[in-house]
Amino acid sequence: MHFHILGVGPVGSLFAHHLRRTLPAAHTVSLIHRTRQDRQRLLDSSFVLERGGEVQTTDDFQHEVFEELVSNPPSSSPPIDSVFVALKAQHTYPALSLLAPRLPPHSTVVLLQNGMGIYENLISTIFRNPKQRPHFILASNTHGAFLTEPFHAVHAGVGSIEFAVAPDSQGRDFEAGLDDESTELSQRRLRLSDITFPEDPLSARYRSLRTTVAALLVLEGLNTSWRSYSDIQMIMRRKLVVNAVINPLTALMGCRNGQLFDHPEAKDLLQQVCDEAHSAYAAQMKHDTEAWLEDLESSGVDMTRVEVPTFPETLTSEALQKETVRIAEITKGNISSTLRDVRRGRKTEIDFINGYLVGLGRTYGLDMPVNSALLNLVKLRHRMPLDPIL
Ligand code: KPL
C-alpha cells in the first residue's frame, strides 16, 4: 500500500522514519513536501532521526510536492490510500480542503494534531457527506521532538501514541472487543483482532483502514496503542490540558519543557488551568449525560436499570496536574511546538488548545480567565517574538 506523510516537521518526521523502518519494502512511503525547493533540499541532503545520541538515516522514501499533488486533476492521479496528517492544527483544514478530491471513501486519514475540534470541523464542512468521506483515525501523541534543521529530527522525549478509528458513515463504532469497564484506561490496549468492524473487515472499503491500523500497531519505537473511540475522547481531553499548560507557558518563558515547574508561579498556573478545564469538562459531561438520559427515557427504556456514567478519574484537576507534570518530565529536553512557532514568528496552535477550552467554557456559561489570559499572551508573544534565549 502507499502511505503518505503530509507535514515533514518533527512529528511527521518521527512517523515517516518509524513507518519506513517498520514496514516491508513493498509498501511505499511518500513524503509530501510544501514546495519543490523543500523536496530538492531533502534530495540533496539526508533524512535523519536522532534519539539518545544515536543517529539513523532513512533514505528510501518517495517524494511528492503538495502543490503538484493538488493541482493534478483527480482523474489523472491515483487516489491516496492512507495519509498521516502531521501539520499543525491551523494548517490542517486548508490543506485537507485542497486534498479532498484525492481522498475517496476507501482512503484513510490519520490526524495527529495537538488541540481539539479539528475532526469535528472537518466532518461538518469539507467532508460533510458521511457516505463520501474517508475513514478517519484520531491520534494523541505525547512524544517530544524537534528539528535542528530541515529533515534532521531529534526525538527528545519518548512518550506514546494512542489512536482510535472514528465512527463510520452511519455513526457505527469500530467496537473494541473488551467489555470489562473496570479495566484501567491505561491497561486497555487493543489489537486488530479485538476490533469488531461494522461490516466485513475484508471488503475493499476497509483495506486501507485495516492496513493503516495494522501499520500503526506494529510501529516500533513509538509505543502505539489502539483505543476505543470513547477512550480516545478522554485521552484527547487530557492531552489538551497538558498542551494548555506546557505550550503557552514554555512559549512565554522561553524554556524547555523540563524547566517549567522549577518556578512556583508555573505550578500555580498549572493548578488554575487544570481547575478551569475540569469545570468545563464536568459541565460538558453533565449536559451530555442529561441529553442521553432524556433520549433513553423518551425511547421507553426502563430507567431503573440505566447506570449513569460517573466523571472520569483521569479528568479531575489533580489527575490533570499530575499528567502534565509527568509529560513535562518525559519530554524535559524538548522545545514545545508553541515555543518553536513563536521564536520563528509563526502562527501557533493556541486557538485549538487554550482557545478550545475558552470556547467550551463559553458554551457552558463558565469563565475561563487563566486560559483566556494565556491565549491572549501567546498571541501577543507571536506578534512580537523576543530574541531567542535558548
Ligand atoms: O505536544 C507537545 C508539544 O510540544 O506540542 C508536548 C507533548 C508538550 C511535547 O513538547
> In the chain, pLDDT over 70 holds for what percent of residues?
93
Give every CB contact of residue 148 below 8 A, 6+ residues apart in sequence. Answer: 50, 154
Q: Does the CB atom of residue 30 touch ligand 1 within 6 A? A: no
Q: Does the CB atom of residue 337 touch ligand 1 within 6 A? A: yes
Q: How far apart are CA 300 and CA 382, in angstroms?
A: 54
Q: Does the CB atom of residue 118 touch ligand 1 within 6 A? A: no
- What is the per-residue pLDDT for 174? 73
- What is the per-residue pLDDT for 187? 46
Q: Which residue has the CA at smallest separation from atom 7 of ligand 1?
A: 142
Cα of 212 vs its chain's centroid, Å: 16
Confidence tier at 186 by pLDDT (50, 70, 90)? very low
Q: Does the CB atom of residue 258 touch ligand 1 within 6 A? A: no
From the list 284, 252, 281, 256, the residue with the least C-alpha distance to 269 is 252
Q: Which residue has the CA at smallest separation from atom 5 of ligand 1?
A: 337
Per DSSP, helices labelled H in the chain are 10-22, 36-44, 66-71, 89-99, 118-124, 207-218, 229-253, 264-298, 317-330, 337-343, 354-363, 369-383
- Ligand 1 atom, smallest distance to 340 CA: 4
Q: Which residue has the CA at smallest separation from atom 4 of ligand 1?
A: 336
- Ligand 1: distance of its center to the CA of 44 in Å? 30
| Same topology between domain 2-227 and domain 232-383 | no
- Ligand 1 atom, smallest distance to 144 CA: 9
- Ligand 1: distance of its center to the CA of 374 in Å? 16
Residues noted as catalytic = 239
Instruction: Give me the residue spans of the domains in the chain.
Output: 2-227, 232-383
- Ligand 1 atom, smallest distance to 243 CA: 8
- What is the per-residue pLDDT for 198? 73
- What is the per-residue pLDDT for 179? 47
- What is the per-residue pLDDT for 227? 86
**Model confidence at 185: pLDDT above 60:** no
Q: How far apart are CA 347 and CA 333, in angstroms?
A: 23
pLDDT, tens digit (0-9, with 9 covering 90-100), for 193-242:
666 777 777 777 888 998 898 899 888 789 998 888 888 999 999 999 99
From the list 57, 164, 156, the residue with the least C-alpha distance to 119 is 164
Q: Which residue has the CA at smallest separation from atom 10 of ligand 1?
A: 336
- Ligand 1: distance of its center to the CA of 279 in Å? 23
What one-character-per-residue DSSP string does 168-185 give? -TTS---EES---TTS-G
**Model confidence at 365: pLDDT above 80:** yes
- Ligand 1: distance of its center to the CA of 295 in Å? 39
- What is the per-residue pLDDT for 183? 46
Q: Does the CB atom of residue 225 touch ligand 1 within 6 A? A: no
- Ligand 1: distance of its center to the CA of 338 in Å? 8
Answer for the pair 357, 371: CB distance below 8 angstroms, yes or no: yes
Burial of residue 135 (number of CB atoms within 10 Å: 0-12, 13-18, 19+)? buried
> In the chain, pLDDT over 90 holds for what percent of residues?
72
Mean pLDDT of 178-197: 54
pTM value is 0.89
In this structure, whether the domain defined by 2-227 belongs to CATH 3.10.180.10 is answered with: no
pLDDT, tens digit (0-9, with 9 covering 90-100), for 83-134:
999 999 999 999 999 999 999 999 999 999 999 999 999 999 999 998 899 9
- Ligand 1: distance of its center to the CA of 243 in Å? 6
Instruction: Report the top-level CATH class of 232-383.
Output: mainly alpha
Mean pLDDT of 23-41: 93
- What is the per-residue pLDDT for 203? 75
Mean pLDDT of 30-56: 91
Q: Does the CB atom of residue 145 touch ligand 1 within 6 A? A: no
Tell me, what's the ipTM?
Answer: 0.98
pLDDT, tens digit (0-9, with 9 covering 90-100), for 303-357:
999 999 899 999 999 999 999 999 999 999 999 999 999 998 899 999 999 999 9
